[in-house]
Structure 1
């Protein structure tokens, strides 16, 4: 195979990794860094590739929740109180990461986008998830009683807690979905509802990040980079369609312990590999 073909196969593979991991609490960015380093994927702007192909995953969520999104938009335009409150909560949750991202994203990328950082955050995040799940097992009375069980009943204070937690996800290995879901659960939102709110919050957050990064660095991309982004985008979209539906079914019956142990195991294996 030619170098161009190999390059595109690598982009296709990373798109699959992105689509599978974006909405699981195991850090898509961390996996892209680790796998990109492993297969020696080099782009003129690798970080732009990683962010922009996430747009494929986000559009998969938009498609899955398209009816609820249309209901929210229509209701907000008609000033329906429930939909206005839901839109307000999404805006409140979105703003913290938008502000922090605009002010500090360059410093964050320079300091933290490294496999060693991913190892630490994977393990630490896994331990936190185990602690949270130990406090509230799946299908327990505590998980269901006195918990917010619908998106419409989430308060602005809970939305703000989730939004602040999303800022932590700028550090690779943390996991945007993991941070927001766990924060939602700790603030009193039922597990499945916290997962759904995390998905809705991903739409404006990742769309803004993808558009901003592409706008800032598009002039640096070659034709080869653009083609790789398109390939990664499509594979991420298809994989995310399958994963999002599956995770919603999974969290209605199970805890996130399996993902926590996966994070810890992966972090320890990669850490040992880096050490050796």
Structure 2
């Protein structure tokens, strides 16, 4: 992977991770068109740069993360369903990840839903701005729908927030906060288990020889590409979050719905043309 390819993927990650458009779908298209989807390092790169995107939320909303213990307790309640269900259904989820048509169909159906979301969940008087523990749990259950590739973690969790009478802004921001522990856990597990071939126990026990051997498998050039990717993803994600909150508050979801439909159709078109597409 060249530095320019890394920058392109990092920009896509930063732009799409927190928008309700499915970052997976965009990574599928971009990596396939650049001819790098089959490379093992591409998978490592797309997982690793999520750390940069996660950091953008912490930096933008740092006051929330030092606000109170109650904040973390609600986040814990919200992410437990995804962690539990993800652990139990990991093999089934991994099997779905191999099917690009699932991504395309999820994008299409999700797009149709987003077109009508604003009509279904009109903001009412006395909306919820700070979720209760019950609200957090229900939103967490909605987030589990995103285990289907192409659904979008952001879209499912924001819609979950809307079902709890939250404002668009509050639902979007809570979705960002949920992303930190959810993505951190998923990305860390994937890097250790699937990419470095380490067990979590190896890290906990500080098995330095095994850790050093795993890390040495990454070349200096690859470390450079990973560093650049994380910086780019961090900066772009910060800008995307600021844009999304303002846009969503003013205009709603409809445009994102139409956009998802277009992306889904593009993937189906690429499949129809016989272009090799692989989920990274």
Deviations 1:114-143 (A, max 9, x none): 43221101001111112322223xxxxx40
Kindly state the Cα deviation for residue 226 of structure 1 after the two structures are TM-superposed.
3.6
Alignment of 1:19-38 (within 5 A): 19-38=14-33
Unmatched segments (≥5 aa) in structure 2:
197-213, 274-280
Any conservation in 2 of the 1:113–1:171 contact (CA below 8 Å)? Answer: no
Partner of 1:222, secondary structure, is: coil
| 2:118 alignment partner, one of 133, 138, 146 | 133
Structure-1-length-normalised TM-score: 0.85
Match of 1:80 in 2: none
Match of 1:124 among 109, 117, 127: 109
Structure 1 residues 55, 92: closer, same or farther in 2, change over 3 A? same
Alpha-carbon offset, residue 62 of structure 1: 0.5
Q: What is the Cα deviation at residue 170 of structure 1?
A: 2.2
- In the TM superposition, what is the alpha-carbon distance from 1:230 to its structure 2 partner? 2.0
Return the match for 2:137 from 160, 184, 189. Answer: 160
Would the aligned equivalents of 2:19 and 2:155 in 1 still touch at CA under 8 Å?
Answer: yes
Residue 180 (1) aligns with residue 157 (2): yes
SS of 1:143's partner is: coil
1:100 maps to 2:58: no
Determine which of 12, 25, 33 is the counterpart of 2:7. 12
More displaced, 224-233 or 190-199? 224-233
- Partners in 2 of 1:126 and 1:32 — Cα distance? 17
Q: Using the alignment, how far apart are the partners of 1:162 and 1:263 within structure 2?
A: 22
Cα distance, 1:45 vs. partner? 4.6
| SS state at 1:173 partner | coil
SS of equivalent to 2:251: coil
- For the residue of structure 2 that corresponds to 1:71, the secondary structure is coil
Size of the aligned set, in residue pairs, is 252
Moved more, 182-191 or 100-109: 100-109
Contact persistence 2:74–2:136 (CA under 8 A): yes
Alpha-carbon shift at residue 19 of structure 1 (Å): 0.3
- Output one character per residue of 1:173-206: Cα deviation in whole Å (capped at 9) or x when no partner: 1111011001111222111100010011011111
For the residues of structure 2 that align with 1:187 and 1:112, how far apart are their CA atoms?
A: 30
Tell me by how many angstroms 1:25 deviates. 0.3
Q: TM-score, normalised by structure 2?
A: 0.83
* Structure 1 gaps, min length 5: 1-5, 77-83, 137-141
**Which residue of 34, 51, 57 corresponds with 1:55?**
51
Match of 2:2, SS state, is helix
